[in-house]
Amino acid sequence: MREQIAQLEELAAIDEQLRRVEEQLKTRREGLQGLRSSLQDLESRMGTDRESVAQMEKTQKDLHAEIRNLLNQIERSREKYSRSRTERETAAAQRELEELRKLVRDREDELQKLENVAQSARTSIGEADAKATGVRAELEGTSEGTLGTIGDLEKEKAELESRRSVASKALPPVLYRRYESVRTRRPRAIASTHDGTCNGCHIAIPPMMYQKIQRQEEFDQCPNCRRIVYYTPAPSASPPDASASA
Ligand SMILES: [Zn+2]
């Protein structure tokens, strides 16, 4: 029983270390992943913006061509107007001219609107580009170090896992299964007691159970937190001179 307590404590200590290593790994990986994905976001946003700027530039070109075409038509209309003989012809030429001029104004308005949108898209591309440069520099600066740390942590994790495998096989299978079942709910699955209070949840263990635990005959579980609970004498329980004479 004493030996099993020591084995359980060792296993719990390994699990504790494993948990810490896994947390650090997670933080490092998430940090790297976060930088990478924000770079990806920026690049895809820039891609979309560049496409729409290109589209707008094409439309602007088309509009310019249309305006040139309309101006030619206006020129012809003016000639028609100057050649008109009758009032009817004059009125018709005037109407045509007005319509054409209105079409030119509409195209010019459209051009101006497009230019405003394109300009703000270019600004946002510039901003995203500056941000991406910063993220890239951060990635280059940290990724080597972070990857190195991740490598070290992975090595540490593998070592702990092999130690864990040895430690878990040392325990009786029934006890190990119990330990694992508690561990699904409690990261630290064991708790000691030296005064009848469970060290895991700090709640008193029923006296009958505590007596049994104190005799160290078998493992029990705390009725409150379900941790595997075992008795260890308090460090201060033995008088200082007793250890000196031992
Ligand atoms: Zn408890």
pLDDT tens for the 246 residues of the chain, in order: 888 999 999 999 999 999 999 999 999 999 999 999 999 999 999 999 999 999 999 999 999 999 999 999 999 999 999 999 999 999 999 999 999 999 999 999 999 999 999 999 999 999 999 999 999 998 888 888 888 899 999 999 999 999 999 999 999 999 999 999 999 999 999 999 999 999 999 999 999 999 999 998 888 999 999 999 999 887 664 454 444 443
Q: Residue 195 Cα, ligand 1 centroid: separation in angstroms? A: 13
**Whole-prediction pTM:** 0.67
Query: Which pLDDT value is given to residue 90?
Result: 93
Residue 207 burial (10 A CB sphere; 0-12, 13-18, 19+)? exposed
Q: Which residue has the tokens 């520099």?
A: 137
Q: How many A from CA of 237 to the centre of ligand 1?
A: 21
Other Cβ atoms less than 10 A from the Cβ of 24: the count is 16
Compute the distance from residue 221 Cα to the ligand 1 centre, in Å.
8
**Nearby residues for ligand 1 (ion, Cβ within 5 Å):** 198, 200-201, 222, 224-225
- Ligand 1 centroid to 128 CA: how many Å? 53
- DSSP secondary structure, 41-63, as one string: HHHHHHHHHHHHHHHHHHHHHHH
Ligand 1 centroid distance, CA of 162 (Å): 29
Measure 238 CA to ligand 1 centroid, in angstroms. Answer: 25
Element (H, E) at 74: helix 2-83
Q: How far is the CA of 65 from the centre of ligand 1 (A)?
A: 82
- Supply the pLDDT for residue 236: 61
Distance 191 CA to ligand 1 centre (A): 7
How far away, in angstroms, is 17 Cα from ligand 1 center? 22
Which pLDDT score, from 0 to 100, does residue 147 have?
87
Kindly give the distance from the C-alpha atom of residue 229 to the centroid of ligand 1, in angstroms, as a whole number.
Answer: 8
